[in-house]
Each structure stands twice: as C-alpha cells, then as structure tokens.
Structure 1
Amino acid sequence: MNHLVFLLLLTSVCFFTRSEVVDNFSKCKEFFLNNAPPVFKPPAGVSVVPICQCLWDDKGQPIYLYATLYSTTWKIPVYSAYVYNRSKSIGRCDAWYIEPQLDVHYTTEKCMRSKGHENNIGTNQALNSDYENSGYDKGHLYPVLHTNNHLSMLATSTLTNAAPQKSTFNRNAWLRHEKAVIEDLKSCDKEAYVVTGVVPDKKKVKMNNKVYVSKYYWRATCCLKGGQYIGKGYYGPDEQDKVQELTTEELNKKLQEFYKVKSPISIFPAQISLKLNRKRERPS
C-alpha cells in the first residue's frame, strides 16, 4: 500500500520513470546503429553496467527510450545512445532521479525514482547532494534539446545520464553545438543514431571526493542520406573552450587516447565507420 502511494505521488509530479539495470543491451538494442553497441573496453579497475532507460506505460509495461553505459567506479555515464528524430519544442521537468538497483542489489524495486532513505544509496552512483555547491552543472548526455516527446524529455533527467560539466562550457559552446547538431541532422533521410559520452578528468579532485568531473564531452552521429551513411564526430572543450569536429574514425582514435586504453574503440560498427571516414577524405 505504501509503495502504491509513493507511485501516485511521484507520478503527480512529472511521470513515473523506470530504468532497468541489465546484463547487456538486448532489451534496448534498437537505440544503436545496426543494433550494435559501441566497442568499448573500460580501463583496468573500472566497472561499468548497461542500463536500458525507460518509462512505465499505462499497462505497467516498460517503454524504452534510450540506453546508457554507466561507470559505478567513476559515478558518471560513459555514454548514452539514442535515436534522434526531428526535434520540436519540449518543456522540461528537472526531477532528477537515481537508480536503486545500482546500490541496493537485494531490492525488488526496478524503478528509477527520487532518493529514499535506504542505506548505501550513492555508493555506486552520483546523487543530487554531490552536486550541491560544487560549481558544476549536471550536464545531460542525451539532452532535452534532442528529444521530441514528453516521455523522452522526462527520462533524460536521471543522474545516470549526467556528469559534472563546467557551467561556462555547458551553457555556451556545448549548447551551441547541440543546436548545430539539430540543424546538421535535418539533411538525414530518416532518423539518426547518436552516441554521446564523457571522458573523466582523473587528475582533478573528484566532486564531493566521489564523482569524477568531465574532462571532455564527445558525440558521434550517423544516418542515411541518399542511401549512403553520413556522420560526424565531436569533442570538447579544446584549448579555446570550443567544440572540435572530426570524422567518427578520428574520434575513435581520440577516445582511445583520452581513456588511455589499449583496445580499439569503435562507436559505430567498424565497416560503417570506415565508410564514413573514406567519404570525408574524398576531394570536394
């Protein structure tokens, strides 16, 4: 009965959100190009978990909206993957949620929700309290600007889809970049596949001595245009606090360098990344 009352209260604020911590992305693979998640092997000692981000429908069934690979070591997401459709003006509801399953392994509750009073919540994930007086913004990976419906907008406001981001970068260069991506993807024949991620700054003091702040944010896009794949890669901030554009294959190599891993990284399926790179190299 108490659980039902809690659901009704939370639903009255915005909507009841649910995220499922899973062994792999099989339940939400449609958010990856060709159903293939990025090839990413985390550095030694870094733990990651796949999350299928979703909402309940009116029949009690999950509506999956995007996918996140979350690091319980860094307490920030490695990336979020989503399908971009032509965006339209969506309001926002910043009711930030946490995922109980990341910390309370014995819980039968599989729903993302506001922080309760259980012990150990926050052991494997960031909390709102970690951001208080930190000087950092909660930087969305899947941004509200790239959603085109109310449910997707609500589902982006989870701390498993955010990382500490410098406010000057978040509200200026990165915001302009998010708007520019919308314009760029207008040329796509249909939907576009987007993966946005974070590289932690391992040399900085962690936020609240716990949550790694971001050193770089990155994004890769891919879609069909005229029957051929087109795509771009981005990362920032650079030395001038701006966003750099590059090919997806160049971004793969940059990320391997940034994360300091030996295994190659491939955001999109290797054969498609190669096509995108060759297309970029052709003389105009």
Structure 2
Amino acid sequence: MLWLLLLLQVWASCLWLGHSEVGTSFDSCLEFFYQNTPPNSALKPEDPAWICQVYDNQYCFATLYDKSRRIPMYSAYKYEPGESPKPQIWMVEPQLMGSTYPKEMNTESTLIDEYHVNIEEIKRSQAVLEDYKGLKGLTRGHLNPVGHHPTYRKKLPTNTLTNIVPQDEKLNNGAWTKYEQGTMIKKTKGCNSTYVIVGAVPGNSKIPSGRVNIPSHIWSSACCETGTGMRAWAVIAENNKNKVDLLTLGELEAKLASLYGLEEVSLFHSDCPRK
C-alpha cells in the first residue's frame, strides 16, 4: 500500500509540473513556433523563465524572460492583425513568484487585493508599472505588438510587462511602427500563416529605477508558409536611433551571434530560408 501511495504522489507531482505555465521549456505552447521549433539555447539568459502566456484560460503567445534583467529576451506569436481598440490595462506574471499563484497573467492590484501579496514580492522576479513611470526618451515597447492581433481579447495579453522592454521613444513611434504596420503587411502578402519572433539584445544600462535593463538592439524575424513554399525576413534596430535595417533571416542570426559573442544563433526551423 505504501508503494502505491508514493507512486500516486509522484504521478500527481508530474501532473502539477506539466500544468505549470512558467517553467523550463515551451512544451505547453509550441504552437507559436513554426514546426514546433523554438530558437536554440543561444539566447538563453542566466536567470531564464519560459512563459506560455495565458489569458482567459487560453495560450496567447510564448516568451523567454530574463528575471534578473527584468526584460523578455524574445516573444513568439502568430501574425493575425486587426483593427479593434487598443487595451489600456497592464498586467504581470503571477507564476514568476511561484507555482502556487494563478497561471493566468493578472493586474498588480488584483494580486495585491485578492491574493494578498505585496508589490515587493512581485518586484523580486519581474518589472512592475512603477519601474516605467517618469521615463524620458523611452517608452514601454511591446515585443509582441498589440496591432498584430485581431480582437480586443487577443490584443489584451500583449499588455503584460513580461512582453515589454524600455524602447527608444522615437524608434517605437517612428521606424519601428512603420515596420510593424507597413512593412509586415507587404511582406505577408500571399502568406497562409506567419510565425514571428521578436527580441531584444540586453544593453549596458538601466532605466532610472535601476531594476530594468535597456536593450541595445530590438529585432524581429518572421517565417511564413505560402502556396508555393516558404518565405522569411528580419529587421534589427539600434535602440537609440530611429532607423530599422531590413535583413534576411540568415543575416539577422549572424548579427545576433556577433552581438552575443556566440558561434551560432538559430531562430527558426531549418525549413525557413536564410537567404
């Protein structure tokens, strides 16, 4: 009987771990990566969290988060643009505090009022709204952008601070927006489905709170299926200039390898063309 009870405990533990939305892999949300293939481990930070972003009991996108720098390394999603209103609610990730907290993203006030945590507990593992107050020359920059989703319900989950980096204000409102709203529309013509990974290269400075890293570069990459084959493209921007450089996927991977001092960076499945 004792061995049976122990077996049941182990089985229950495995089920609990399997249902955790913040963990050590993207196994629960591989659907957001082409051919279920996330980037290789080259971009993994020292203190990582693999987040299957959940809202309204649904997986919305995937994020590799750097808990020590308090910024996402990248977010992965499917491109489905729409014109519904832009949400104004901002949320955080409860399970970065521990697996006993809700698996769905939520507001700071809800966690404080309903789950009786204090703001200091939230701040230990992630950025909070207070960090982004009073910024000069920087804005809350989405990696997974609001405009690349069709409905209010699907746009809202992008407003989690685990999807946000301090982005140069002119870049965010200028050349980066032109890429997100203009170039992407042109590039995705003829695509049946488009998979996108957007990331940030950590920099050497922080915002005034001293807790959140300011990336040196922001980049985006995409791979899409067409009726005749595969198509891929990429861009990168220095996070202090209002300029976006259009690249091939292979050029971006080589650029990231150089910036990180690595031998190889692979963002997509090998079916996605590098040239």
- 2:162 is aligned, of 148, 160, 163, to 160
- 1:190 is aligned, of 189, 192, 195, to 192
Residue number in structure 2 paired with 1:174: 176
Matched, 1:209 2:210: yes
Residue number in structure 2 paired with 1:124: 125
Amino acid at match of 1:99: E
Residue number in structure 2 paired with 1:35: 36
Task: Give 1:31 shift.
Answer: 0.4
Residue number in structure 2 paired with 1:150: 152
Q: In structure 1, how many angstroms separate the alpha carbons of the residues matched to 2:143 and 2:194?
A: 16
Residue by residue over 1:92-121, the C-alpha shift from the partner in whole angstroms, topping out at 9 and shown as x without a partner, is 112111112212x26343232111242421
Q: In structure 2, how many angstroms separate the alpha carbons of the residues matched to 1:138 and 1:171?
A: 11
Residue by residue over 1:102-145, the C-alpha shift from the partner in whole angstroms, topping out at 9 and shown as x without a partner, is 12x26343232111242421112111000111222110011111
For the Cα contact (< 8 Å) 2:38–2:267, is it kept in 1?
Answer: yes
Work out the number of aligned pairs and report it. Answer: 247
Q: In structure 1, how many angstroms separate the alpha carbons of the residues matched to 2:131 and 2:242?
A: 25
Task: Give 1:180 shift.
Answer: 2.1
Listed as ranges, the matches of 1:23-102 within 5 Å are 23-42=24-43, 46-56=46-56, 62-85=57-80, 87-102=81-96
For the Cα contact (< 8 Å) 1:140–1:161, is it kept in 2?
Answer: yes
Q: In structure 1, how many angstroms separate the alpha carbons of the residues matched to 2:131 and 2:221?
A: 28
Residue number in structure 2 paired with 1:110: 103
SS at match of 2:174: helix
For the Cα contact (< 8 Å) 1:256–1:263, is it kept in 2?
Answer: yes
Gaps of 5+ in 2: 1-19
Gaps of 5+ in 1: 1-18, 57-61, 278-284
SS at match of 1:224: strand
Residue number in structure 1 paired with 2:3: none
Listed as ranges, the matches of 1:204-243 within 5 Å are 204-237=205-238, 241-243=242-244
Task: Give 1:90 shift.
Answer: 1.5
Q: In structure 2, how many angstroms separate the alpha carbons of the residues matched to 1:205 and 1:55?
A: 29
SS at match of 1:190: strand
Residue number in structure 1 paired with 2:260: 259
Task: Give 1:240 shift.
Answer: 5.3
Amino acid at match of 1:107: T
Amino acid at match of 2:224: C
Task: Give 1:263 shift.
Answer: 4.4
Residue number in structure 2 paired with 1:133: 134
Q: In structure 2, how many angstroms separate the alpha carbons of the residues matched to 1:239 and 1:79?
A: 19
Amino acid at match of 2:104: C
Q: In structure 2, how many angstroms separate the alpha carbons of the residues matched to 1:111 and 1:228?
A: 36
SS at match of 2:122: coil
Amino acid at match of 1:79: Y
For the Cα contact (< 8 Å) 1:96–1:114, is it kept in 2?
Answer: yes
Q: In structure 2, how many angstroms separate the alpha carbons of the residues matched to 1:91 and 1:145?
A: 9
For the Cα contact (< 8 Å) 1:70–1:76, is it kept in 2?
Answer: yes
For the Cα contact (< 8 Å) 1:20–1:110, is it kept in 2?
Answer: yes
For the Cα contact (< 8 Å) 1:98–1:112, is it kept in 2?
Answer: yes
Task: Give 1:23 shift.
Answer: 2.6
Q: In structure 1, how many angstroms separate the alpha carbons of the residues matched to 2:206 and 2:166?
A: 12
- Taking a change above 3 Å as real, the CA distance of residues 188 and 69 of structure 1, as seen in their structure-2 partners, is farther
For the Cα contact (< 8 Å) 2:92–2:161, is it kept in 1?
Answer: yes
